[in-house]
Amino acid sequence: MPERREFLMKTVRGLGLAAAGGLAWSGFIEEGRSAPLILRPPGAVPEKDFLASCIKCGMCVEACPYDALDLARPGDGKPIGTPYYTPRTNPCYMCKDIPCVPACPTGSLDKTLVSDKDESGELRLNINLAQMGLAVIDRETCIAYAGIQCDACYRACPFIDKAITVDYTRNIRTGKHAMRAPVVHSKACTGCGLCEKACVTRKASIFILPREIAMGESSERYIKGWDERDEERMKDVTEKVTTETPRSSKDPIDYLNREDF
């Protein structure tokens, strides 16, 4: 029996060591991948799939003619070896042929996410479909919102008048000037970051955030009745759902008939 005991104890020891090492290892990975603000190249699959499939080869980085992409280095606080771009210093210039996407050997950058059908029905790359991020404006530091005639981001935007429009309003403070406030539209904005690069404030007042971070989400039951396309969001709603709260569980009539009303 002692042999069997020894074998068992050795196995337990091995498993224990593997667990200890594995936990330290997992901890390092978990820390490293919690980088929700990272901006991925065009056509990137959702972040979870991206982390699973990206092989850290840097082919997209090399394919980029503007050197906009970089592989995260240890110490950058981003998932090690994965590609990202920094709009303030080097935005995405939205090449028509999107060279970074076909360069990807693993499909982490997925052509189909940035392709649509041309007249003959064949798939063609279309950078305008990219959803790398979304421009967000800090109205408190944006000088256009303070009444200064700046339209740097608006002019820099490759989707001028679609992704960024300018709202002309009266400057109530002075009473005699116009405000020309930039407004971003999520339907057209690709998150390329040319606006962030162009912004004249010391620290950019318009900047790119990942869309999941920058955007809210309203429930399927709040529909803009004046927007036909918005009704599409309702198509998956099948059953009737009512939200029960302690107050709503009682019939309103009971409430009205209560003595203390």
Binding of residue 86 to other proteins (CB under 8 A): no
Which residue from 157, 164, 160, 236 is spatially nearest to 197, judged by alpha carbons?
A: 157
Which residue from 112, 98, 208 is spatially nearest to 157, judged by alpha carbons?
A: 208
Q: How many residues bind other proteins (CB under 8 A)?
A: 36
Q: What is the 3-state composition of the chain as percent helix, strand, coil, each rounded to the nearest 5?
A: 30, 15, 55
Query: Considering the complex, what minimum distance in angstroms separates the CB of residue 58 from other proteins?
Result: 6
Q: Which amino acid is at 242?
A: T
Give SS3 for 168. Answer: strand
Q: Which of 26, 89, 171, 248 binds other proteins (CB under 8 A)?
A: 26
**Binding window for other proteins (CB under 8 A); candidates: 69-77, 125-133, 143-151, 205-213:** 69-77
Binding of residue 52 to other proteins (CB under 8 A): yes
The maximal CA–CA distance of the chain, rounded, in angstroms, is 97
Binding of residue 64 to other proteins (CB under 8 A): no
Q: What is the DSSP letter of 164?
A: E
The phi, psi pair for 218, rounded to 5°, reads: -100, 155
Query: Considering the complex, what minimum distance in angstroms separates the CB of residue 62 from other proteins?
Result: 5
**Binding window for other proteins (CB under 8 A); candidates: 103-111, 127-135, 178-186, 219-227:** 103-111
Interacting residues with other proteins (CB under 8 A): 14, 18, 21-22, 25-26, 28-30, 32-33, 48-49, 51-53, 55-59, 61-62, 70-76, 79-81, 105-107
